[in-house]
Structure 1
Amino acid sequence: MSRPVLVLDLDGTVCLGDTPALLYATQVAAHTDAPEALLETAEAFLGQRLPEDAPKTLTGAQDGYEAVKILGLTAGVTEEQLSAAYVSSRAMMSEQPGDIRAPEGLADLLDGIDAHRVILTNSPGSGLDAILEHLGLRDVVDEVRTDALKPTRMIGHLDGFLETFGTVDTPEWLMSVGDIWRNDLAPAVERGCVAAYVDAFDRRQGPAHVRAGSLVDLYPAVSEWSNDPSAFIAAHPLKESVPC
C-alpha cells in the first residue's frame, strides 16, 4: 500500500542552533596559526554580521558548516583535516549540545501526520541518538539514515524510498525538506518529488514547490501535503524562489 514519505534534513532544518558549526569551527581552528580569528569570523557569519574584510567567498556560503570550511581552506587546512574535524565535532555535540533545539512544535507536527518520517543526514551516526533525544524527536521519526553523502547519493536514497513505499509512479508522495538546495531539494526536483525549501539565509538557490525562512512556516504545507500529495503538488507547482 502506498504511503507518503517525509524526508527531513538534520542540521539547519530539524536541528537549530549555532553549537554544531561552532564546535566544528573550534576543531578546524586548531589546525590554523590564528584560531581566534577563524572563530570570530565564524561567529560573525552565524550572526549575519560579517565584517568588511571577511573573505568574499563567505557571502555565498549556504550555512555555518560551509562557512567554516571556506575559512579553513583559506587558512591552509587540508580536506583531510576538515573531515576529521567534522567527525570530532559531531562526537562532541552529543555531550555538549549547547543551544541546539528543534523548531517549536515539530514533535507535535510529526506525531500528527500519516507518513513515513525519515531524517536523512550527512552526519555520522555516532552520538546521533542522544542528539535526537535532546531534540525531543527520537520517538516521532520512523527512520534515521546517516552518512548519506548528499547530494551525490540523494537520488538513490529517494528512489529507494519510492520503491519501498510503492510510489515510484507517483513521486509527489515524497516530500524532501531541507535548507541546502543542492543537497536536499535539487535531487527531489529532478526526481519529481515535492521540494520544501527552508531558506534561512535567503539564498534563493533554485526552484521549490514551497519555500520559507523557517521550518515552522512550512508546517501548514507539510500537513496539507501529507493529507493528499497529488492535490498538493497540483496546487503548488514548482516555482522560483517564491516565499510560502
Structure 2
Amino acid sequence: MDPLSRPVLVLDLDGTVCLGDTPALLYAEGVASFTDAPEALLELSEGFLARRLPESAPKALTGAQDGYEAVRILGVAAGVTDEQLSAAYLSSRAAIGEHPGDIRTPEGLVDLLGGIDAHRVILTNSPRDGLDAILDHLGVRDVIDEVLTDALKPSRMTAHLDGFLATADAIDTPERLMSVGDIWRNDLAPAVERGCVAAYVDVFDRRQGPAHIRAESLVDLYTAISQWSRDPSSFIEANPCKEPVRC
C-alpha cells in the first residue's frame, strides 16, 4: 500500500504508549523540592497514583486526569510557581533515561503496531530531551514511523490532525485518522470535532466526553484498532461516537 494512502494512527505517549508511575514520581520529586513540606507532596502523589488517597487529600485531586496533573495541583496549592513547575518537569523528563524505573508499554503493543498497515505516530507534549532514551527502553522505535514532541496539546491538536490528514490525502475522509489517548481534552476532543476516530484510554474512569471506543486499558482496544486500520469507513459506521455511560 502506498504510504500516503495508509490510515494514520496517532498515539499519545504518557499513559498510553508509556505506562508506569516513574515519570510522574520524578516530576513530583522535582516539584516537592520547591516546597516547605516535600514529604507531604510526595506522599499524596504516590497515593493518587496508587488510587489510595486519604480523606484529607485536597478535593481537587479527585478530578486530576493523570499523575502529572495531580502533582501540578499539589504544587500550585503549595505555592510552587509556573516557572518552578516547568523546571521540575523538564528535569524529570531528562532524568528518565537514567532512571526508567517501571516504565513499560502495554502488553502486546509492539506486536499490534508491527501488524497493522498504518502510519504510526507518537504525538506528545513531552520535550525531545530524554525521549530517545524512553523510546529505546520501551522498544518501540521499529514500529513507529514518526515522533512529534512539544506538541502543545490541546491548543495545537487540530492543526496537527489537519497536517496528518493532508499528508495522507484524507482531508475529506477524516475517519482515516484515529487518535488514541488518555486525556480527553488533549487527545480526543479535537479528534471528535474534526471527524476523526477517537479511542479513549480512560485509566482513571473520568468519562470526560464522547469517543468512538473506550476502555480502561489500551490492551482492551487492540481488536478495535486493528479493525479500524483495515477499513476505517466501515469501522466508524459500526462504532458511532458515543457519550460516556454514567452509573
Q: Shorter-chain TM-score: which interval?
A: over 0.9
Aligned length: 243
Q: 1:38 maps to which residue?
A: 41
Q: 2:32 maps to which residue?
A: 29
SS state at 1:97 partner:
coil
Q: 2:10 aligns with which of 7, 11, 27?
A: 7
CA deviations over 1:121-171 (Å, ceiling 9, x no partner): 000011211111111101100000000000000000000000011000000
CA distance in 2, matches of 1:127, 1:66: 20
Gaps of 5+ in 1: none
CA deviations over 1:49-82 (Å, ceiling 9, x no partner): 1001100000000000000000000000001110
Q: Match for 1:228: what amino acid?
A: D
Measured on the aligned residues, the alpha-carbon RMSD in Å equals 0.9
CA distance in 1, matches of 2:162, 2:55: 44
State the identity %: 79
Q: 2:180 maps to which residue?
A: 177
Task: Indicate conservation of the 8 Å contact 1:3/1:167, yes or no.
Answer: no
Q: 1:115 aligns with which of 105, 115, 118?
A: 118
Q: Match for 1:224: what amino acid?
A: Q
Q: 1:79 aligns with which of 79, 82, 85?
A: 82
Correspondence 1:127 to 2:151 = no
Shift of 1:95: 1.0
Structure 1 outlier segments of 4+, above 2 Å: none
Q: Match for 2:210: what amino acid?
A: P
Gaps of 5+ in 2: none
TM-score (norm 1): 0.98
CA distance in 1, matches of 2:64, 2:245: 21
Q: 1:69 maps to which residue?
A: 72
